[in-house]
Structure 1
Amino acid sequence: MTPQKTPKLDRKQVVDAALRLLNEVGLDGLTLRAIAAGLDVKAPALYWHFKDKQALLDEMATEIMRRMTARTAEAGGGTPAGDWRGTYLTTMRTLRAELLRYRDGAKVYSGARFTDTSYAAGLDASLRVLIDAGFTLATATRAWYTAYSYTIGYVIEEQAMAPNPFDGDEGYDVEARADRLAEHPLAAEAGRAMFVDFDEGFEQGLALVLAGVESVLAG
């Protein structure tokens, strides 16, 4: 049966509802049926806008990116012109903060194919700062993409292991892990570095990435 179009429903309404529901149920619980129920429509109505769940996830990731871009513009940056290190670090910190706004936000964002080109201006600007500092386009791209991948990967792990602000879950039990690994003291203690202070852990890892990028530029 051909689904009947619902005139009152548009793509933005669907995406906004999906992002709200994501915070309630997480990615595993996010279904087209549940989104439709929240919008008081039948699930087939959503297929006028998205052919499947992956198409919806791509649009959700794009909307997260749009919101991040808008908030960054409103904040006015603040990094001095020509400060490629400051720009580099601020960009990744902003990305992490935006992904943490949504339950499983990094999983939604990871591997998504943006549905428009609104990301391109920001990417151009980031690469231009690096190129103006002496990077080639190839090394600038690799430097940017390495930190970008690190940030997304870190947040995926962070959202899986840290206390969950959306449902009150207390997060990974580091002490229980240490007890299980009592015969492996270094591995046991490493858990306190990996799973306790995620803000500090992110900054330390990002500093390591930056140090590697600096060595490439020096070379």
Structure 2
Amino acid sequence: MANSKDMIIEAAIAVLNDKGIDGLTMRAIADKLGIKAASLYNHFKDKQSLYDAIAERICNNTKPSCGLVDPKRYLIEQAELFRRELLKVQDSVKIITASPPLTPTRIELVKNDLLCFINLGVKKENCIIAARLFYNHILSFVSDETTMVSERWDDANPFIAVFGEDYKPLSNDEQFIRGLETLFAGYKILE
């Protein structure tokens, strides 16, 4: 058997994708694995530690390959990777926001982000603001992306009502990058 803890995390993610966060119970995970729920507590002391492990797993694949040489490129790549990973797991935004960044990968990502903001010229005392804006953009964008039903806008699209036929909608990818670019423009205020 592979690492039992990894198998539990994978089963938990499968339950999340099937039932959402409200259906993520130790019993549901145990049923998925064909074991007793009590045995899960040998690996996770409580549901919070499971959330932390799921959040860590989501973040494991968000390390940019470009390195810290170009801080803006690093942050954009990280944001795109993070968004991609969040979109793979139902209710991932709820898991991430319920889990403080205290696991090894998440700590490393936050440290690197802070270094990037400093290298972009953001004052040290403003780096936490820059980081919060950055993560809030990613998390709120994914939340909107996974909960809004754009098909319902066809008849009463407020953008068409305001801008008329000249309105050309952007793809989610384009909107996401434009939002990041807007943040980078705003970070100049924090220098």
Q: What TM-score bracket applies, with the shorter chain setting the length?
A: 0.7 to 0.9
Q: Which has the higher helix share?
A: 2
* 1:50-69 matches, cutoff 5 A: 50-69=44-63
Shift of the 37–88 alpha-carbon distance from structure 1 to 2, 3 Å rule, reads: same
Mapped to 2, the partners of 1:106 and 1:68 lie a distance apart of: 15
Structure 2 residue 190 is matched with structure 1 residue 211: no
C-alpha root-mean-square deviation of aligned residues, in Å? 3.2
> Does the 8 Å CA contact 2:130/2:187 hold for their aligned counterparts?
yes
Match of 1:130 in 2: 117
> Does the 8 Å CA contact 1:68/1:94 hold for their aligned counterparts?
yes
- Identical aligned residues as a percent: 28
Structure 2 residue 118 is matched with structure 1 residue 118: no
Could you say which structure has the larger radius of gyration?
1
Shift of the 52–197 alpha-carbon distance from structure 1 to 2, 3 Å rule, reads: same
SS in 1 for 2:139: helix
Mapped to 2, the partners of 1:174 and 1:79 lie a distance apart of: 40
Match of 1:174 in 2: 153
Match of 2:126 in 1: 139
Tell me, which stretches of 5 or more residues in structure 1 are unaligned? 1-6, 163-170
Mapped to 2, the partners of 1:62 and 1:80 lie a distance apart of: 21
Using the size of structure 1 for normalisation, the TM-score is: 0.71
Tell me, which stretches of 5 or more residues in structure 2 are unaligned? none
Shift of the 85–115 alpha-carbon distance from structure 1 to 2, 3 Å rule, reads: closer
Match of 1:14 in 2: 8
* 1:29-48 matches, cutoff 5 A: 29-48=23-42
Q: How many residues align?
A: 188
Mapped to 2, the partners of 1:159 and 1:109 lie a distance apart of: 15
Match of 2:66 in 1: 78
Shift of the 80–39 alpha-carbon distance from structure 1 to 2, 3 Å rule, reads: closer
